[in-house]
Structure 1
Amino acid sequence: MSVDAARASAALLAWYDRHARALPWRAPPGAATAADPYRVWLSEIMLQQTTVAAVIPYFERFTTRWPDVAALAAAEEGEIMAAWAGLGYYARARNLIACARAVAAAGGFPQEEEALRALPGIGRYTAAAIAAIAFGRRAVVADANVERVVARLFAIETPLPAARPTLYRHTDLLTPAARAGDFAQAMMDLGSRVCTVRAPLCLTCPLRPDCAAQKQGRPEDFPVKPPRRAKPRRLGIGYWLEAEDHVLLVRRPAKGLLGGMLGLPGGGWGAEAEPAPPAPADWRAIGAVEHVFTHFALTLRIEAARLPTRPIAGAWWPIARIGEAGLPTLFARAADLALAQTRTHSESA
């Protein structure tokens, strides 16, 4: 089945003019003034592998605290990492800092895709999104939502990820010369709200007259995905050491998982052996927390101890203010476990 690209693009833009989501980083459909490139860039970095609902409060806190790229570039790295805590995929935050500093040093964001791709943390998709949405350039923007729409529209049988070059070419075919930014956001909204992963709302879809998957009666079969492999499980240990109403935290190495974030002493997640406790004490096992990373699942065993004075130098954090430490989800769960065990132990004493 052939697709009338001009008709499909026009129908989608007309739908977007009526149904566009109001998001804090967007300009209204057809606006004479494009969206702020700083806000577009920040939102796109935050939205990578994260939902819009999860991103909005982080975006609003970031833009209130750091309203432009110069302010973000001048911020202390630890503050940014702490503000990012909970969004996950912490390499994005490290690249965010590096990119902000590079853009501030250059005097602003470049407008061309090639120059945008040269910046830290900006790949083909993000460069295209910024070029199209912030600068009105014709660019091919293909995130997971767009890929799903295009895979169904053309009934592309090749499984992901091998299908991506074909999906990109078809998205290029559909992308109009004018309103490329609105078109990109329309495709994202369509994939998020209508052409959903399960139970797509085909009857309300503006692309229904051209959609091959809908005509075949099997839209949920696209995009075709390879069989999912079970993630390997790793075991590690974390140490909760209290002294003088403080807990010992450590700053993780800049590179690697949860790089640059505060966390509990410990390790053993990979090939390395589990490290010894940070200080001699009466250590007791209090349970474990589970976390799933991109490539593996982790069971982190937690051991706790309490000493009358701080035995070593380090980042001792007030226990009463542990929620302000900006701990990533894994260590926030470990802290919740330790605090619950502490309360239970105190009540039973």
Structure 2
Amino acid sequence: MNRFAEELLRWFDHHGRKDLPWQHPRDAYRVWLSEIMLQQTQVITVIGYFQRFVERLPTLASLAAADEDTVLALWSGLGYYRRARFLHRAAQLCVERHDGELPRDLDALMALPGIGRSTAGAILAQAYGLRFPILDGNVKRVLTRYHGIAGFPGESAIEKRLWIHADEHTPAERTADYTQAIMDLGATVCVRSKPACLICPQAATCVAHRDGLTAVLPTAKPGKKIPTRSLAMLLLRDAQGRVLLEKRGPQGVWSGLWSLPEAADVEAAGGVASRLARVRNADPLPAFTHVFSHYRLDVSPILFDHATPLTAVADGESRRWCDLTQIASLGLPAPVRTLLDNLPEITP
């Protein structure tokens, strides 16, 4: 076992995280689910979502058999919803092709939707104890600093170098513990801002620590201005308190989720609303901004209370009037759910 792994495992035995819910039991389904949830999301946020997800869908087979609305409702609030749809489809493919199990082969795992090389390596290492490296965001940061590698880690040439180092450090013994240890080091010690180098087990041989480069490594992604878009969200609520929801199409943001009807702007909102229901007063609600990875969305919500459903706008697969109980069981974008949760009481 190389020195890097020895030092890291020694640290892990005393300071590593060993009580995360997906570690008990640590089977392939739970490892896979946790890895997908942890993409772009911190552990403290994921824990509650993970526990609710496995309580409802405890096995790969139950996930494969679930309908999409159930999966998206359990995912609602985690964001990056394509992860949930890939997870669902991958489970169905495992049932169709792999006897209902996640395969123990790297290429077979990577052939499933949403599973890249690092996620596949994490499943094989943590669930099956096989020697495969990982290279998630935390590991990239650790290895970039340890080896003093300049350049944005997302660039193919830099990432290729990091994979070589990830492989050379991964031991044949205690692979599952090592995999958790290097993720823990990046998440709790070698953090993005103000890393705790004084308590890091690798400080003595870390290039960034030696050369005072921890503040500039990893190299930041080249800057790009994020555009802003705007729209109006229409809250059509009938006398019984039901709200009109529409299911978004398969393309674009929030694809496949239930959301609110939209208009290009506040001026167009009344016209759109009148085509969906008979409406009276339009009450603007506080505007808000939601930030995606590639743009900012300025939203102006408008409440149309005591809306009367039009016969021509009947409930169907892509549009329905929903009460609070029905809304709770649907997959909604987090800002839309927050908006609905905070609606003022309906006036007489």
Calculate the TM-score normalised by the size of structure 2.
Answer: 0.88
CA shift, 1:235, in A, is 0.9
Question: In the alignment, what sits opposite 1:129?
Answer: 122
Q: Tell me the C-alpha RMSD between the 2 structures.
A: 2.3
Aligned residues: 330
1:74 paired to 2:72: no
Q: Give the conservation status (yes or no) of the 8 Å contact 2:9–2:181.
A: yes
Counterparts of 1:217 and 1:267 in 2: how far apart (Å)? Answer: 52
Match of 2:22 among 22, 25, 38: 25
1:187 paired to 2:182: yes
CA shift, 1:308, in A, is 5.5
CA shift, 1:80, in A, is 1.2
Match of 2:161 among 150, 166, 173: 166
Match of 1:327 among 321, 328, 332: 332
Question: In the alignment, what sits opposite 1:299?
Answer: 298
Question: In the alignment, what sits opposite 1:241?
Answer: 236
Counterparts of 2:327 and 2:288 in 1: how far apart (Å)? Answer: 17
Judged with a 3 Å threshold, the aligned counterparts in structure 2 of structure 1 residues 282 and 212 are, in CA distance, closer, same or farther, namely same
Question: In the alignment, what sits opposite 1:15?
Answer: 11
- Match of 1:224, SS state, is coil
Structure 2 counterparts to residues 190-339 of structure 1, below 5 A? 190-243=185-238, 244-266=240-262, 268=264, 276-277=272-273, 278-282=276-280, 284=282, 285-307=284-306, 309-311=308-310, 312-314=313-315, 315-319=320-324, 322-336=327-341, 339=343
1:97 paired to 2:88: yes
- Match of 2:231, SS state, is strand
Amino acid at match of 1:294: S
Counterparts of 2:307 and 2:295 in 1: how far apart (Å)? Answer: 38
Deviates more, 1:308-317 or 1:78-87: 308-317
Q: Give the conservation status (yes or no) of the 8 Å contact 1:247–1:317.
A: yes
Task: Please list the CA deviations of residues 20-66 of structure 1 after superposition, one character each: whole Å capped at 9, or x if unmatched.
Answer: 21211126xxxxxx820000011111111011111111111111111
Counterparts of 1:327 and 1:250 in 2: how far apart (Å)? Answer: 10
Percent of pairs with identical residues: 39
CA shift, 1:230, in A, is 2.7
Match of 1:86 among 77, 84, 98: 77
Calculate the TM-score normalised by the size of structure 1.
Answer: 0.88
Counterparts of 1:140 and 1:319 in 2: how far apart (Å)? Answer: 46
CA shift, 1:279, in A, is 3.0
Question: In the alignment, what sits opposite 1:38?
Answer: 29
CA shift, 1:95, in A, is 0.7
- Match of 2:215, SS state, is helix
Counterparts of 1:267 and 1:103 in 2: how far apart (Å)? Answer: 41
Counterparts of 1:120 and 1:232 in 2: how far apart (Å)? Answer: 29
Counterparts of 1:39 and 1:104 in 2: how far apart (Å)? Answer: 16
Counterparts of 2:148 and 2:272 in 1: how far apart (Å)? Answer: 55
CA shift, 1:101, in A, is 1.0
Q: Give the conservation status (yes or no) of the 8 Å contact 1:9–1:174.
A: yes
Counterparts of 1:326 and 1:226 in 2: how far apart (Å)? Answer: 32
CA shift, 1:192, in A, is 0.7
Amino acid at match of 2:123: I
Q: Give the conservation status (yes or no) of the 8 Å contact 2:70–2:330.
A: no
Judged with a 3 Å threshold, the aligned counterparts in structure 2 of structure 1 residues 48 and 119 are, in CA distance, closer, same or farther, namely same
Unaligned runs of 5+ residues in structure 1 are: 28-33
Q: Give the conservation status (yes or no) of the 8 Å contact 2:71–2:331.
A: no
Q: Give the conservation status (yes or no) of the 8 Å contact 1:128–1:140.
A: yes
CA shift, 1:177, in A, is 2.1
Q: Give the conservation status (yes or no) of the 8 Å contact 1:289–1:333.
A: no
CA shift, 1:151, in A, is 0.7
